[in-house]
Chains A and B, each alone.
Chain A
C-alpha cells in the first residue's frame, strides 16, 4: 500500500505533484487545492474520471492535459459510472492475466461538481455506490453551476443569489436549504462518507487516505469556495473556507458503515453564521432589514444541524 499517514506539512510537501499548472481554473480556485491534495495523498497509480464542469473544462482542453495520471471525461453525469467501468475492466483483466503490470497498485477516483453530483449525475452515482465498485467519489461542492455562469443547483443554500434564483425586489434568492448528500450516500451503502474542507488540510488528507484505503465505494463532499460565484477576492479562498468550517455551515465529519459518525473538527470559537455570509457577495442582500428573517433562519438551521450531528455521534445509529 502506497498510502502512508502524513505526519506534518513539511513531510507532505515532499509529495511530487501529479496535477500540473497552466490549467485554466480561476485564480484562487479551491477545486485545484482539493484535487492536488487528493493526488498527493497517495503514490498509487490513479485512474480518475471527471464529470463535465469547471474542473473538466479547465484541465483537458486539447492539446493540453493537466493530468499526470490516467484520466477520462465522458459526460456531465457519468464519471461515477466511467470509474466503475474502468474498475470492472481492471478486475476482469487481473483475473485473466492481461494487465501489463498486474502488481501495480491502482485507485479509482471520480470527481464531480455539486451540479453533477447532487443533480444531473445523482442516479449514476447512486447506482455505482449501490453496486459496490471499489472507488472514491469526490464532490467539489461550490453550491452552484459555476462552469456555466452561476445557476442554482440542489446544493445551493437558502438566500444565495444565483442567476436562476436571483435576489430581487420581492425575492431573497434561493428558497431551499441544500440537499444532504453525505447522509444520502451513507444511506446508499457507502462504507465511508465524509465532509471535508481544504482549509483543514490534515483532516482532509486523512479522510482522503481513509477513503482510498477503504474497499468499496466511498463518497466525500468537499467544500470548494468559489471566488467567482460566491463573490469574494481570490486571495481569500482559504479564509472564506475557515469561516465556513468555523461557523459550522460546513461541519467536518465522517460516517463509517452508515452509522458510526465522527465529528472531525470542533471549532474553538464557533463563529456566527452571519460572519460567513457577510464575507460573500452572493449573500449581500440578506443584510437588508427586510431579509433579517433569512439570517435568523440560517443560524437556526446551522445550530440544529450541529446539534443533530453531535447526537448522531453519541448515538452511533
Chain B
C-alpha cells in the first residue's frame, strides 16, 4: 500500500511538480514515460515518489516517447489508469500513437509541457506541440499556472474515464514559464484527491479472461467513416461532462473553471483571445489599461482547446467590436489556428466583430504586459475606425522589418 504524502495547505510548487503530485494522488496503475525537456521533472519526481514508496503502480522507463505512448495504450487496454508526460519533439514522436489511443477510446492522461518544435531546435515554450495534437482526437485542457496544472490533471482523469466519454486527455502547461516557476499552490490531501478522481472503471479490458477482446482491428472504406464519426461525437459530447467535472471540482475546492474563461468581458469593446501563461499577462494588461486609459478591454481564454468550445467562444465574444487572437505557434503558411477557429465561430454571429491575428512568443520569446497593452490599444483603434487598420496577421516581438499579411477590404 502506497504511503500517504503529507502536504501543507499551501505548497510552493512549479507546474511540473504539481503535475507529478496529481499523477501520484490519482494512483495511476501504469506510467510509461521517457524524459524530455521541459517535462522531465514530472517523470523524475514521479520516479522519486516510486522510490520512496508513495506509488503502488508500475513505472516503466521506456526507450522513446513513441514507446511511452505505445506502452500506455497496451496498459490502458489491459484495464487500468494510465498516464505519461512529454513535450515538443517527444510529442511529435508519439503523434502516431496519439491517434491510436483516441481511436481505441482509451482514457490515458498525457501531461504536455508545451515547447517549440525544431528545426531550429529550441527547448523553450511555445504552443507548436499543443497545436500538433489538435486533430488527434484527444481532449485538450490548458493550464495557465501551476495551480491549474495540478487541478486540470486531476480533472483530466475524471473527464476521460467517464463511461460516456472514454477518451484520452492532454493537460497542457507552458514550458518553463509554468513548468519551472514555483508558485503558491493549494493541493488536496491524498485521500480527498483520490476520492475526487474516483476508482478506475474498467471497460473491455484485455485482462478479463471471461470476455476475450480484440483491440485495434482494421476498418476499410465500409466501416472507417462510421467509427471516426462515432469517436468525433463522443469528443463533441464530452463538453457536458467537462462542465460537470469542473462544477464538482469547484464544489470540492472553491476553484471555478469553465471551458472558456472570460475576464472583464461584461462591458468589453475589445477582446484578446489567448492560451497558456499569456492569459495571465493579458489579464494584467487589461486591468491596467482599463484603469489607466479607460479602454474597455477583456480577455477570453479557451480552457478547453479540444473539443473546441465553438459555442462558448461565440457567447463570450458576441458583443465586442474587435477580437485579437494570439497564436504562439508558427502557422506554416496560414493564419494562426486560434485565429481560424475563433473567426469561424464568430462568422455565424450577428455582430461579426473584426478579428486580427498575432503570432508571438515563438521559441520562448518573452511576451510582456506592455506589449499586450500595445496590442489592446491597436485593437481599440480598429474598433474606432470601424475597420482593421493594420495587416490582419502581424508578428509581436519580432526583430527586423515589420512583418504582416493581408489587409482588410472592409475599409
Contact = CB atoms under 8 A, between A and B. Distances in A.
Contact of A88 (B71, B100, B206, B216): B71
Nearest to A63: B223
Interface residues of A, number: 48
Contacts, number: 168
Interface stretch (A95-103, A216-224, A263-271, A293-301): A95-103
A149 interface: no
Interface centre among B32, B74, B209, B216 (most CB of A within 10 A): B74
Given A70-B207, A96-B56, A124-B67, A86 B212 contact: no
A69 B30 contact: no
Given A74-B70, A75-B70, A81-B62, 16 more contacts: A47-B206, A49-B74, A74-B73, A75-B100, A78-B97, A81-B67, A82-B74, A85-B70, A86-B74, A86-B75, A92-B56, A93-B79, A98-B80, A100-B209, A123-B63, A127-B63
Contact of B67 (A69, A93, A99, A127): A127
Contacts of A84: 60, 62, 71, 74
Contacts of B212: 67-71
Nearest to B68: A81
11 contacts: A47-B207, A57-B218, A61-B219, A62-B218, A62-B227, A63-B223, A74-B97, A89-B207, A92-B57, A92-B80, A104-B209
A92 B209 contact: no
B80 A74 contact: no
Interface in B69-94: 70-80, 82
Interface in B220-244: 220, 223, 227
Contacts of A91: 58
Interface string B366-409: 00000000000000000000000000000000000000000000
B163 interface: no
A60 interface: yes
Given A74-B70, A95-B56, A89 B208 contact: no
Interface of A: 45, 47, 49, 56-57, 60-63, 65, 67-75, 77-78, 81-86, 88-93, 95-96, 98-101, 104, 106, 123-124, 126-128, 130-131
B112 to A, nearest CB: 20
B333 to A, nearest CB: 29
A88 B58 contact: yes
A85 B60 contact: yes
A45 B208 CA distance: 10
A71 B78 CA distance: 10
A62 B217 contact: yes
Contacts of B96: 75
A83 B75 CA distance: 8
A89 B100 contact: no
Interface centre among B32, B58, B76 (most CB of A within 10 A): B58
B97 A88 contact: no
A65 B63 CA distance: 31
A65 B218 CA distance: 10
Contact of B210 (A49, A63, A101): A101
B190 interface: no
Contacts of B207: 47, 70, 86, 89-90, 93, 99-100, 106
Contacts of B208: 100-101
Given A88-B30, A93-B80, A74 B74 contact: yes
Nearest to B2: A96
Contacts of A101: 208-210
A263 to B, nearest CB: 33
Interface centre among A56, A86, A98 (most CB of B within 10 A): A86
Contacts of B61: 131
Contact of B215 (A73, A83, A104): A73
A68 B213 CA distance: 8
B58 A89 contact: yes
Contacts of A67: 212, 214
Contacts of B62: 81, 84, 127, 131
A144 to B, nearest CB: 21
B348 to A, nearest CB: 36
B102 to A, nearest CB: 12
A127 B63 CA distance: 6
B206 A85 contact: no
B329 to A, nearest CB: 26
Nearest to B200: A98
Contact of A78 (B60, B66, B210): B66
A86 B78 contact: yes
